[in-house]
Amino acid sequence: MSRLAWDRLAAVTLLALPLAGASPRGRTLGVVPAPSPIVRALPLVGIGVAVDEATGRAFVTQERGAVAVLDAGSGALLRTTAVGAGGQAAPVAVDAVSGRVFVVTRDTVATLDARSGALLHTTRLAFPSAVAVAPALGRVYVAAQGGVAILDARTGALLRTTRTPLSPAYSPYTIATDARTGGVYEATENPSTTIITALDARTGRVRHMTQVGGAGPAAVVVAARAGRVFVVPGDMLDASGRIVRRDIGGSEGYGDGAAVDERAGRVFIPEGGNAFVDVLDARSGATVREADVGQIPIGRPGVDEGAGRGGPMSWCRASRIRTATR
C-alpha cells in the first residue's frame, strides 16, 4: 500500500448516505450502493478532496499538478488550477478562517483562494507528504523531510520547522490537528515500528509519544468532539495518547486515508481491495456499518458537513458523480 498514493488514481464519485446529525432537508453526501441518480458526468481523476462549507466548494487534487474546483452541491466543475508543473497534487486541506486551501505537491505547498480557486502562492519544501490546519492559530502544519514545517495560513510563508523526536533520521509522513486540545499529531515510521507524536500547536513542544500497531499507517485523523485519534490502519487513541481500542474496523486492509464527520460523530475509512467503506462511531471506534459503494475506493475521502450534507465524498473507480436525496 502506497502511503502517498502518487501512482494510484481514482475518478470521482459523489455518494450519499443519511447520517445521524444530518439535516433532514436537502441532500446528504455519504456512501450508498451504486444505483443512485446520476446528475453529472466528469472525466475527472481525483486523488484527494477537501470541502469548504463557507464557499460551497470542493477541491479535488489530480495528477499532473492540478486541482479541480467543484460546486460541492451539484458536482459541477467550476475551474481547474495548475499548482505544480509536472508533479502530482495529493493531500489537501481547507482553512475556512483565512479562506485558503493548501495543496501538497512533490516539492511545494500551494496556497489557493477558497472562493475563486486561484493560485495565490507556493512554498517550496523538501519532500512534503501531508498537510493539516489550525484555523484558530492561523497556522498550517506540513509533514516534511526533517520534521513538521509550520506556515502562516494567510501568506503561506514558512515560519519554522519543528524537529520531531525521530528526525532527521526518520521524517513524519502524515499529520492531523486537534482544534479542541491544540494538538498536532504526526506519524513517523522507522524500520521496526510506527510512532505517533503529539506536539503542542503553539510551541512545538512534544506532549507525548505512542507506539502503535500496523506498518505504515495511511492516515492519522482526529475526531475532536469525541476526543479520539484514529490511526488507519491500526489503533484508536484518546487525547492523552493512550490506546483505547486496537484493530479498528476489524482485520480488513485499508486504502489511503480516512475522514471524520464531527457533527454526525462518524469516521469513514475506505477498505483496501474491495468496494466497501467502513463507517465507525467516533467515540467508541465500533463499526456502525459497512457501506457498499459499488467500486473499489482508492483515493482519499473527504467530508462535507454543511447543512443537509454529511459523510464522505468517496473517490472511486467511476467516471460519474452521484447524488441522492433523503
Match 498536532 to its residue by C-alpha cell.
184
Contacts of 200 (CB under 8 A, 6+ apart): 182, 183, 184, 206, 207
Which of 13-22, 199-208, 309-318 tops mean pLDDT?
Answer: 199-208
What is the residue extent of each domain of the chain? 45-252+260-293
Band of residue 256 on the pLDDT scale cut at 50, 70, 90: low
Query: Which strand (E) or helix (H) includes residue 132?
Result: strand 130-134
pLDDT in tens, 203-240: 989 999 999 865 666 689 999 999 999 998 888 999 99
Band of residue 24 on the pLDDT scale cut at 50, 70, 90: very low
Q: Which CATH class is domain 45-252+260-293?
A: mainly beta
Transcribe 163-210 into DSSP letters: PPTTTTTS---EEEEETTTTEEEEEEE-SS-EEEEEEETTT--EEEEE
Residue 297 per-residue DSSP state? B
Mean of the per-residue pLDDT values for the chain? 77
The three three-digit cell numbers of residue 266, written as one number:
462518524
Strand partners, 170: none
By three-state DSSP, how is residue 291 classified? Answer: strand
Q: For residue 297, what pLDDT is reported?
A: 64
Neighbouring C-beta atoms of residue 202, cutoff 10 Å? 11
pLDDT in tens, 45-57: 667 888 898 898 9
Separation CA 251–CA 145 (nearest Å): 31
Nearest by Cα to 172 from 142, 202, 214, 150: 142
Chain length of the chain: 326
pLDDT at 44 over 80: no
Indicate the pTM of the whole model: 0.81
The three three-digit cell numbers of residue 23, written as one number:
439535516
